[in-house]
Amino acid sequence: MASRIQRPNLLPYRSAMEGAIPLEAMSRAYDRLDRITAATESATTKSLALLNEQKAQLAPGDERGRAFLDEQFGRLDAMSKQAAEENNVAGYARSIRKQINALATDPRFAQIQQNVKNLNEYDKRKAQLIANGYTTIGVGRTPEEFQSIDENGNPVQFNSYVAREPDYKKAHQSVFRNVGTDVLDSKQALAEFVYGPGGDPSAYPEGTTGDQVIRGYKAYMGTPEGRIEADQMARAKFGMPHDDITAEQKQEIAMLLSDRIFNDAIPLVNTPRAGAASLNARGKDKNAPTGVVLGGPAASMITDGDETTKDQVFQEFNDMVDDSDLDVYLQTTYGNAQDQVALKDGELIPMEDFNTGQKQIGKVVMSTAGYNQVNEKTGEVSTMPVIRVHYTEGTGNNKTSGFIERPANEADLDMMRGNMGATLAQINSVNTPQETRQGTLPMISHVFAPELGDVLFGQATEKEIAKAGLTVRKEPGTDGDIYRVFDTATGRPYGYGGEPFVSDDQGAVENFVGGIIMDRELAGR
């Protein structure tokens, strides 16, 4: 019997190569190489563009910085082109990334980037001063003189600044507002303060320390005007900025400046003074302006209606002079029975009973408190001075007295400032106790710099305070905001005694700004 022919069991065809090469794995490998190539090319392009951008913004005289950037650009560009020619960007990726990372962490490149920012601020400030009609002075190395890298290959910071030329005589005399009155009691006392023990600039006693000599110069160099003048003198005498001259040359400049300070201070010797120099004087002076008082009846708390803002203790301000310019101004402006408002829990409440004659306004006084007023259109905060309006109600045995507290109108501040000249002299008088003087500083800040409130209590991170010549910046800190103060003209940190002002206390900032404004206002009146 013939056997049955069975149908063959045919297997699907497989290429001989299919079993030797893992196609799926190879596909993933190619995708990975493509990603590496794309990422490397993107990083290279961005790095080369950044190098070109920084080079274009270098200071005109920065040849070392330019050479450094050219070298970095050439090395990265050459490696990138070689990788492209060999069609092997992925193979060069590690070397390219290593070079880019080395550039990113190079302190020379980091300093160049910061210098570019500083140069932009320098040019911006210069343009601003010129636009306002001022003659500008560059302090430190000019952009034409500056090198980002020194002769030893170390990074150099561009810390020069541009300013308007100061009134040097006024600046010399201002040194003595904060050093006490004793140094101006006689010409000999002045000489010993400026030149050291004995008052002889050519011969210091044996054992004299550095802190005992040229104290006037040291105090002056803590001001923007001092640094500007020293730089100008160094350029005139030695043809170089003050930072670049030798120690011996700096000593020569110090003595020349000491001479100028001494000569300009001679007219101040043994003369009545009501300015800040009187702060250290003892006792009362019948020839000095009348002192001021803080206090008043029923001291109350001022709240903004916001738990994040500290309540303030209301203190009335009394200039102890009947019908002073400030008294008359306040009474004329806010003593009207019409349109009165009262500050209650952060809200302004219209007081209609003043309009109906139920209440009769008495005296109107200033206070040390401030009210944070928000501009509905811009969202900016202005801290307005708060005033207290005293009133009576009823007649005869039924007559009672009271008061309301309200912010001053922002539109009235210019006129208010104009009527505070004599008041500022009284505040700074020897007849005003130190504690009282300190207590008035917030009021001065509110009157002369309401815009300070925008950086202290608003959303602004920086605010220029024109009356103080300062800029206040807000930075996030560990436990809240931190405030720093900078000289607007120079951009440098500002403080007392050579130490920059830094604080996390909003009240301390108000006090500091108020003190600076008072000194400037007194000096300018």
pLDDT tens-place string over residues 308-334: 445 456 788 998 888 899 999 999 888
Task: Please report, rounded to a whole number, the percentage of residues in the chain having pLDDT higher than 90.
Answer: 17
pLDDT of res. 282: 39
My answer on whether 260 and 336 are in the same domain is: no
My answer on whether 120 and 187 are in the same domain is: no
- Out of 86, 111, 134, a domain closes at 134
Mean pLDDT of the chain: 79
Two tokens, residue 516: 């600076």
511: pLDDT strictly greater than 80: yes
Residue 24: band (very low, low, confident or very high) from pLDDT cuts 50, 70, 90 = low
pLDDT of res. 386: 92
Q: Which of 194, 113, 123, 183 is nearest to 155 (CA)?
A: 113
- The H or E element spanning position 228 is helix 224-238
My answer on whether 230 and 316 are in the same domain is: no
97: pLDDT strictly greater than 70: yes
Residue 274: band (very low, low, confident or very high) from pLDDT cuts 50, 70, 90 = very low
My answer on whether 421 and 375 are in the same domain is: yes
pLDDT of res. 298: 45
Give me the torsion for CA of 472, 476, 482, 486, rounded to 10°. Answer: -30
Q: Which residue has the higher pLDDT, 378 or 435?
A: 378
My answer on whether 495 and 366 are in the same domain is: yes
Two tokens, residue 518: 């008072």
Give me the torsion for CA of 323, 324, 326, 330, rounded to 10°. Answer: 0
pLDDT of res. 278: 41
Is the full-model pTM beyond 0.75?
Answer: no
CA-CA distance, 185 to 518, in Å (whole number)? 24
CA-CA distance, 414 to 160, in Å (whole number)? 35
Q: Which residue has the higher pLDDT, 465 or 356?
A: 465
My answer on whether 475 and 350 are in the same domain is: yes
- 4 domain residue, yes or no: no
Helices (H) and strands (E) in the chain, counts: 16, 17
483: pLDDT strictly greater than 90: yes
CA-CA distance, 171 to 302, in Å (whole number)? 39
- 8 domain residue, yes or no: no
- 89 domain residue, yes or no: yes
Q: Which residues contact 298 (CB under 8 A, 6 or more apart)?
A: 403
- 139 domain residue, yes or no: no
Burial group, residue 419, by CB count within 10 angstroms (0-12, 13-18, 19+): middle
Measured from the Cβ of residue 313, the count of other Cβ atoms closer than 10 Å reads 13
List the domain range (segments joined by +) for residue 423. Answer: 293-524
My answer on whether 299 and 441 are in the same domain is: yes
My answer on whether 438 and 328 are in the same domain is: yes
Compute the residue count for the chain: 525
Domains of the chain: total = 3
- 1 domain residue, yes or no: no
- 487 domain residue, yes or no: yes
Most trustworthy range by pLDDT among 4-8, 18-22, 121-125, 300-304: 121-125
pLDDT of res. 1: 47
- Out of 271, 302, 329, a domain closes at 271
pLDDT in tens, 236-267: 888 888 888 898 888 888 888 888 888 888 87
My answer on whether 302 and 379 are in the same domain is: yes
Phi, psi of 466 (to 5 degrees): -60, -45
pLDDT of res. 342: 79
My answer on whether 488 and 411 are in the same domain is: yes
One-letter amino acid identity for 448? F
Q: Which of 219, 119, 139 is nearest to 174 (CA)?
A: 219
- 335 domain residue, yes or no: yes
- Out of 214, 240, 271, a domain closes at 271
- 311 domain residue, yes or no: yes
For residue 214, what are the CA distances in angstroms to 219, 243, 469, 479, 515? 9, 19, 27, 41, 26
188: pLDDT strictly greater than 70: yes
Q: Are 367 and 317 in contact (CB under 8 A)?
A: yes
My answer on whether 358 and 460 are in the same domain is: yes
My answer on whether 376 and 420 are in the same domain is: yes
- Listing DSSP states for 312-374 in one string gives EE--EEE-S-TT-HHHHHHHHHH--STT-EEEETTEEEE-HHHHTTSEEEEEEEEEEEEEEEE
